Every structure is written in C-alpha cells, then in structure tokens.
Structure 1
Amino acid sequence: MLSIIGILISVITVCVNAKINIYVTDTPIKRIGTRLYKQELLTNQFKDVKELAYDSASRNLYFMFMDDSIQNSGRAFINIITKRAAKINGIEKNKATAVDPDTGEVYFGSDDGLYKYDPIAEEAINIGLYNMNIFKIVIRNNEMYLIDANNHMIYKIFDQGLKAVLVGNMKTVIEFDVDYKKNIHFVTMCGVYCAIDGVEVVKNKDLNVVYHFISDEYKTFGVTESGLYEIDCKNGTAKHVAFLDFFPRSIIFGDYGDIFYAVDDNIYRLKPINSYTIYKIHRHKS
C-alpha cells in the first residue's frame, strides 16, 4: 500500500459517461492536449525570467532575468540534471539568448551587438555587430537570424557575426522563429506571417497575434491567449491543438518530448508521462 505521507498527489478528473478517471503521480502534473506531463520546478531564484535556450550536450538551460545587482537584465544558466545555477558575467541590457543546436555554442544579444559565451570563464564576450541592438536571435539549420530593435527588421548573419544581411522587407517585427524547413514565422503590428523558405510571404488567416513560436523537426506551434495552435505555413492557417492553464513568458522544447517554460520568477520542466495507473470510479445512480 502506498503511504501518502510526504507524497504530493496530483489529480486530474475527467467525467465521461458517469465515469471519473483519476491520474495519480508523485509530482504535480499538467495536461496539454492529449498528453500528460510531470511538472518539475527547476528554479525560482531569478526574477522575471525570459528567453529560454537549451543545450542538449551540456544539459544547460540559459535565460535572461532582471538582475537587481546591476539594475538591468542579466544572463544565467541552470543545469537541468544537477540543478546548479550561475550568473553569466560580461553582458547586460536587452534579452536575446540562443544556442546553436549543432555546435552547442551559446550567443546573446544586447544594445551594443552580438556576444558569445565562454563556458570556462562563464562570461559573455562581445564579438561583433556593434551597431546593432539585438532583440531576438534564432539559430537553426546552421544559420543565424536576429531582430535589430533599431528598426525591428530581420537579418541573416554571416562570417561568425561580422556581417548582417537584411531578410526581405519585413517591418515592425516583434517575434519570430525559423523552422526546420527554413520557413520564417514572424509577427508584426499587422498580423502573423510566414515567409516560405524565407521568400514568399503568406499572412495567417486564423491568427492575429502569436506571443511565442516553438518548433520541432516536423511542426511549428504558436502560443496565443487561447492556447496552442499548429501553424500551416504554406496555407496560412492555424489549428487549435491545446488549451494551456498557464501563460509562459518563454517556452521551448527540450529532449525526448520535454518542454521548458517560464512564468514570472519560476522555470519549469514538463516531462512526458508515458505510463500511469488509472483508477476508474463508477458513479451509482440513486
């Protein structure tokens, strides 16, 4: 018999045809669409966390936070296995954070250009693009893209951060992502768009705003106030796939179906539940 002393029991109740399904775990759980996840608090020691970026090799999760010691935004990381967390010196202001998934190299953006992380010194080094105010960085398919907050347009970066080339004529860009098919998903003051292979621009018919994009090897999703939508780039459509009972400041995919997200000062890991015991309670009509 399971002892309930010291065990946190989380219950999701679903009523269908007078039946109640009770899911019991030893941690809090979240339901996103048809999937169940164990929820793990990684840290709550950093203020106003944003811009999560994950490195599969080191298992480090990088992020931006408001650092009271410098009265500005700073960078830090937490190892999701050991839970060791540390601040990163050498950079402040703005919020761009990105990991190259192929090399594990970590980059940051600020109002004075592009920074690269030195993991030995745990310090960010300014390497170029000194006249750019880097608001957002995306690295995918061995290519780096960013938003320059000076004009809110997207640039593709070449020569290890020494050269920036304007991508299209996408103005007032406030959020973007690049999927594994090299399509550029972006949000402007006029709506949600997708540049197919970075060229032909299609406006989304179903969404007016997306706060975060998250992509895996097959699909791209958009986070809105109504939940999670799967985006069809070529058709300019979006299908609602799940409600969210939280509104993330940042959200990304990790390894093996994991999801990382930040809410206020908290960073959480959602780990898929692949097996569980279901206790079915049948209601008896009186």
Structure 2
Amino acid sequence: MLSTTAILVLVITVYVNAKVTIYVTDTPIQRIGTRLYKQELLTNQFKDVKELTYDSATRNLYFMYMDDDIQNSGRAFVNIITKKAMKINGIKNNKATAVDSDTGEVYFGSDDGLYKYDPIANEAVNIGLYNMNIFKLVIRNNEMYLIDANNHMIYKIFDQGSRAVRVGDMKTVIEFDVDFKRNIHFVTMCGVYCAVDGIEVVKNKDLNVVYHFISDEYKTFGVTESGLYEIDCRNGTAKYVAYLDFFPRSIIFGDYGDIFYAVDDNIYILKPINSYFIYKFHKNKS
C-alpha cells in the first residue's frame, strides 16, 4: 500500500468502448511500444548532458556535459544506486566517452587524443593517439572504434591505444555504433549504412538519418525524429517499433532491461515494469 507521502501519478491511457484504463504508480511512467517503464531522475546537476556510457560493475553512469567553470566540455559520473555524482578531472575538451564492459576500464576522447580514467586519482590521463581528434568512441566485443573528427572516418584501435587502422572507406561519418555481432552501423551525409561483419557495406532503404543507435545482445535500434526503429543490418531495412515522447541527447541500455537517457540537463533511468494491476472503469453514459 502506498504511504501518504508517496507521489501518485494517474495516467489515463486508453479510451475504448467507454472504458478508461488507469495505472497508479509511485513514480512517473513511460510507455515505449508495448512496454511500461518507471521513470526516475538520476541527476539534474549538469548542463547539456550527452555521451552516456555505463559500467555494470561499479553501477556508474559516465557522461559529458558543458562545464561553466572551465568554459568547455567536461566529464562526470553518477552512481545509479546512490545517485551521487562527481566531476572527473583531466580533460578540458572532452568529446567522447566509452566503457570496456569486459574490463570496466573507462576511456574518453578529446581533440588531442585518447584518455583513460584513473579511478583512484579521479582523473583522466592522456595515453595516446595524440594526433587524432576523437569525436565518437565505441568499445564492443573487447574492440575499440572511433570517429576522427579531422576527416570523419572510422578507425579501429590496436595495441592499447597506440595504433589506429582505418575501417573501410566510410566518409563524412557523423554517428556510429558497433553491435554484438560486429556489424558497424553508421550515418553519413548520404544516409544510414551498415558494414556487415565490419566489411560489406549495405545502405538502409527505410531510413535517411539516425540520431542515436542503441544495441543489446540481440538487436540494434535507431532513434529518429519519428520514433524508434529496429534495424536489419544485412537486409538494409528498418521496422518501426515505437513512438518516443521525448527526444534524447543520448540513450543507452543498462542492466536487466533498464534504459538510460539524457534530455537537456536531466539524466533519467527507465526501469521495466514487469507486473502491475490494471483498473478499468466504465464511463457513465447518463
């Protein structure tokens, strides 16, 4: 039973055959397709948050934000359990963040190369790729990839950040991700593409632009202005999944079906609601 101090949120969702369906929860809820999620605010202490990345071991969510103190982009993390947030020192122009899920190591990209997070000193240390302007960083399947903003091409990184090898001939890349099957999803000025197994490039027939890719172990989704699409890499197609009533600056999957996303200065977690009661009320026609 809800306490008297709990917040009651009544969401009227369906009007069918003079019936009203009401969900009663102690937090706001979000519907994505057929799934319901409890929405919780993790932090609103940082300005213009983006580039979310998550470490399951520490339960820390890392991100980039605009820092008024350094008059540039900075980096920080918030623990999703305690909701305690902390700034990270060491970079004045942070552009990218990524976590190696196998090792828990955290990396950042800047206009002067690759940085690695030292959790003891709580600072980022420049470790290599000094001539690269790292615009986007992805670590998946124990492999590191990035976009170099000097030429907007994708590179695969070897030897602990000391060597970069260009991937294919993909030009004007503005967004990308690597799924769990090693397919490289990317967006250029000419459209949305997928390099199947990192090699054969297939153009998507259904989408012209994707603002964010999000992948789990089985599927990859693209966020567009009209909603969420499931992407078929090999066939070059996309299937509409759901409308989103928010437009994220960044969005990723967490543990156990959780979703993290940032809107303006707010970072939220969506937790799946696996069981609930539905109360149906018949409208009085008189």
The TM tier, using the shorter chain, reads over 0.9
Offset at 1:284?
3.8
> Using the alignment, how far apart are the partners of 2:145 and 2:224 within structure 1?
23
> Where does residue 87 of structure 1 map in the other structure?
87
**1:16-55 deviations in Å (ceiling 9; x for gaps):** 2222110110000000000000000000000000100000
Q: How far apart are the structure 2 equivalents of 1:277 and 1:4?
A: 20
Deviations, residues 34-77 of structure 1 (Å, cap 9, x unaligned): 00000000000000001000000000000000000000000000
SS at match of 2:210: coil
Contact in 2 for aligned 1:228/1:243 (Cα 8 Å) = yes
Deviations 1:121-164 (A, max 9, x none): 11000000000000001000110000000000000000000000
Query: Residue 13 of structure 1: CA displacement?
Result: 1.9
Task: Tell me how many residue pairs correspond in the alignment.
Answer: 286
Counterpart of 1:142 in structure 2: which amino acid? N
* CA contact 2:8–2:24 (8 Å) conserved in 1: no
Partners of 2:154 and 2:12 in 1: CA distance: 43
2: distance between equivalents of 1:16 and 1:205? 36
Deviation at 1:3, TM superposition (A): 5.7
Distance 2:96 2:2 in 1: 46
Q: Which runs of 4+ in 1 moved over 3 A?
A: 1-6
Distance 1:65 1:172 in 2: 24
Between stretches 34-43 and 92-101, larger displacement belongs to 92-101
Deviation at 1:176, TM superposition (A): 0.1
Q: Distance in 1 between matches of 2:160 and 2:29?
A: 42
Q: Which residue of 2 aligns with 1:232?
A: 232
Q: What's the CA shift for 1:283?
A: 2.2
Which has the larger displacement, 31-40 or 89-98? 89-98
Q: Distance in 1 between matches of 2:10 and 2:179?
A: 35
- The alignment's TM-score, normalised by the length of structure 1, stands at 0.98
Structure 2 match to 1:182: 182
What is residue 197 of structure 1 aligned with on the other side? 197
- Alpha-carbon deviations, 1:199-229, whole Å to 9, x = none? 1000000000000000000000000000100
5+ residue gaps, structure 1, are none
Match of 2:64 in 1: 64
Tell me: CA distance 1:35–1:68, structure 2 relative to 1, closer, same or farther (3 Å).
same
Q: Gapped runs of 5+ residues in structure 2?
A: none
Contact 1:10/1:26, CA 8 A, preserved across alignment? no
Contact 2:10 2:22 (C-alpha < 8 Å) held by counterparts: no
Superposition deviation, residue 5 in structure 1: 4.9
Output one character per residue of 1:163-221: Cα deviation in whole Å (capped at 9) or x when no partner.
Answer: 00000000000000000010000000000000000110000000000000000000000
Contact 1:10 1:27 in 2 (8 A): no
Q: Which residue of 2 aligns with 1:25?
A: 25
- Decide whether the 8 Å contact of 1:50 with 1:95 is kept in 2: no
Alignment of 1:9 onto 2:9: yes
1:61-114 deviation per Cα after TM superposition (whole angstroms, max 9, x unaligned): 000000000000000000000111110000121420000011110000000000
Q: 2:116 maps to which residue?
A: 116
Is contact 2:2–2:26 with CA below 8 Å preserved after alignment?
no
- Checking the alignment, whether the CA contact within 8 Å between 1:93 and 1:111 is kept in structure 2 is yes
Letter in 1 for 2:25: T
- Alignment root-mean-square deviation, CA: 1.1
Amino acid of the structure 1 residue aligned with 2:264:
D
Helix, strand or coil at the partner of 2:25? coil
Q: For the residues of structure 2 that align with 1:125 and 1:211, how far apart are their CA atoms?
A: 29
Residue 131 of structure 2 corresponds to residue 131 of structure 1:
yes
TM-score, with structure 2 as normaliser? 0.98
SS in 1 for 2:11: coil
Following the alignment from structure 2 to structure 1, what is the Cα–Cα distance between the partners of residues 39 and 2? 21
Q: Which residue of 2 aligns with 1:106?
A: 106
2:253 is the alignment partner of 1:253: yes
Q: Residue 269 of structure 1 corresponds to which residue in structure 2?
A: 269
**Identity level (%):** 87
CA drift of 1:278 comes to: 1.0
